Amino acid sequence: MSWTVVLVLASGAFALKVFGFVIIGDRKFPPQVEAVIALIPAALLCALIMKDTFTAGHDLQIDARAVGLVVAVFGVWRKVPIWLVIVLACVATGITRAIS
């Protein structure tokens, strides 16, 4: 990770915050724009989950990471504390790797 990435990301993230808070402020976004932006996190986070669990480079694959994902989904569904969800998911994947 380069410093360029860090600094461009920092500037961009700050610009978005200032854009909404200070520039748009009282005027409000058009409701359609607001509705689309509100849905972006759900789409992107689910895409990231797929990438981090089922892909390796350009290949699709099912491996020990899938076990960790199943544990994480179950933990979040059962309202297990977040720290424990992350730890249990990592442990499940680690053990699966060790025995396979």
Partner 1 sequence: MDAHNEHAHEGVNYDGIVGPAVALGFAVFIFAISFGVLCVNAGGSVPKAMAMSLLVFTGASQFSAVSVIAAGGTAASAVVGALLLGSRNAIYGVAVAPWLPGSVKYRVAAAQFTIDETTGMTLVQNSPERKRRAFWVTAASIYGFWNVGTLIGALVGNSFDTQKYGLDVAFPAAFVAMVAPLLATRKAQLAGIGGAVVCLATTPFLPIGAPIVISAVVALIALVPAQRKSRHS
Binding positions for partner 1, 16-75, rule CB under 8 A:
16-22, 24-26, 28-29, 31-32, 34-55, 57-60, 64-65, 68-69, 71-73
Q: How many residues bind partner 1, per CB under 8 A? A: 75
Q: Which helix (H) or strand (E) holds 59?
A: strand 59-60
d(CA 61, CA 10): 33
Does the protein bind partner 1 through residue 99 (CB under 8 A)? no
Residues 52 and 65: beta-carbon distance below 8 Å: yes
Shortest reach from residue 4's CB to partner 1, in Å: 7
Shortest reach from residue 84's CB to partner 1, in Å: 9
Shortest reach from residue 63's CB to partner 1, in Å: 11
DSSP 22: I
Helix (H, G, I), strand (E, B) or coil at 70: helix
